[in-house]
Structure 1
Amino acid sequence: MFPLTVSLLLFEIMESGNTSSDFILLGLLGHSRAQHLVFFSFLFGLFIVTLTENALMILLIHRDPRLHTPMYFLLSHLSFMDILHVSNIVPKVIADFLSGRRAISFAGCGIQVFLSLTLLGGECLLLAAMSCDRYVAICHPLRYPVIMSERVSVLMAAGCWLVGTLNAMVHTGLVLHLPFCRSRVIDHYFCEIPAMLKLSCADTSSYERGVDVSAILFLLIPLSMICASYVQILLTVLRMKSSEARKKSYSTCSFHMVVVIMYYGPFIFTYMRPKSYHTPGQDKFLAIFYTIVTPTLNPVIYSFRNKDVLTAMKNVLRSSFPYRK
């Protein structure tokens, strides 16, 4: 109920008003309703799946004491970020397609920008924190309880939310104060800063340099930390005597790196290019990966392939639907 309530509340705010100051979102695939009905049906199904699996992940971590560890604590925050992220964007996309209305209020656009930047930035930092957790667990298992204490994991999660929020506040305030004296038609399916910068008649070069600084802090540095962590993990795995342990670790690391590349790659390509190099079709395609695809894949890759999570799921199902003799 909570994710759907959030989606409805955000949608009402985005739809409020209907004045000349509203923005117009061109959408994801253009104007042909019949041609893209199947795609939007698939998008709606993907939205429900994303909400369900991430909410289930949070429930399992909350209910099973064996999952009360730093790794799963960070995973629960990742799932919550993914729920908020898809709720911020996908319902509006689907509603615009069904209703034919593409307007979004100035306040609604500001909310989308703020939430997107908060969650994208926070998730970048959180993925780096999770890689550090795995590095300590595999490379320094005896010191893991001391290094990754409950206090440290709470500080990590809180830091990701706080830093992401502060960054979003700065950029949202700056971009909304730009003069939009050209067309107010955003050639995108949600309010994203690169698409909005094209509508400004002011010189945005200084602001773009600020975006580059944020991109280094939230993209390049965390990605470097993740790569360094997994290199050390793989070197440690190579020294393991058990072939089964090596195979399992290789499999886990490879899946994690695929998700990381799918998330950071398009994100870096979108936010670290000059405004003049952006094309609407390319930006929309890249945004699909870090706004829709990875929130769906994260629970599967990071959690549901884990035996502890599968056991917790079976226990929850047994307690909810006990067998009757």
Structure 2
Amino acid sequence: MRKVSFAEFGGPDVLQLVDAEEPRPGPGEIRVAVRAAGVNPVDWRIREGQVLGAHPVELPSGVGIDAAGVVDEVGEGVTGVEVGDRVFGEGSSTYAEFAVLGAWARMPEGLSFEEAAGYPSVVETALRVVREVGVRPGQTLLVSGASGGVGSAVLQIARDRGIRVIGTAGAANQEYLRELGALATTYGDGWVERVRRLGPVDAALDLAGSGVVRELVELTGNADSVVSIADLGAPEFGVRFSGVAGSMPAALAEAVDLIARGRLHIPVEKSYSLAEAAAAHVDSRAGHTRGRRVVVI
């Protein structure tokens, strides 16, 4: 089978499309014929060797953790899923023609493989940081970098829970944030004052890692009310860096519920082939995403 792999840490040029042995599922796992794989910032962070504590890597390594596809092999002890089922979930080395998943759910009706591949890690992260930041119904949550995959999910989850949201994004994504129910403003010079004009902030999330943690603490008045998933220096300001995933099965179940109720939709901004994985990483690292990027097999 074909898969994307890297034999050394480095820039996107270390990614290679190689021929590899097909993986086999162990107990409690399934194998899927991958139709699409989600492109996440953690993918290029792993490739660069930034997060080895949370994501140990044995080289050469595959790439990708999210996928949607068709079950073609079921491991020992697995029940409730059969060969031929359409599923989405989390595993390893998902930029490939076949991948093993350790957590999955059946795809909701009407969802394409490309769309489904963009949900697993994004929704788990969004649910986790909303929980960790402690924001409650009726309060106001500020989301810095709100137009990407996690931001798109956070805005819709917050809206479903009765939480008021202020989102920052580039000028081109202002209407997109409003469509998701947020009060929108641009980042850049003067952004703190623009946020203040929209009202007081109870909690804040840094999703872009653009050096705004100090200002988020200033706006909330409390470092405990700020969580970052993108700024490794956040703890210097007393801010929690959230990098350890919670329960993926629970997150997938909630995603299915939200999608089925019409409360969650994350658009796919751009699709790439396996051979274009390096370009996908370049674009992901550059940010300014509206929704999700995926690799299509």
User: What TM-score results when the alignment is normalised by the length of structure 2?
Assistant: 0.28
Greater per-residue strand proportion = 2
Tell which structure's C-alpha radius of gyration is larger. 1
Greater per-residue helix proportion = 1
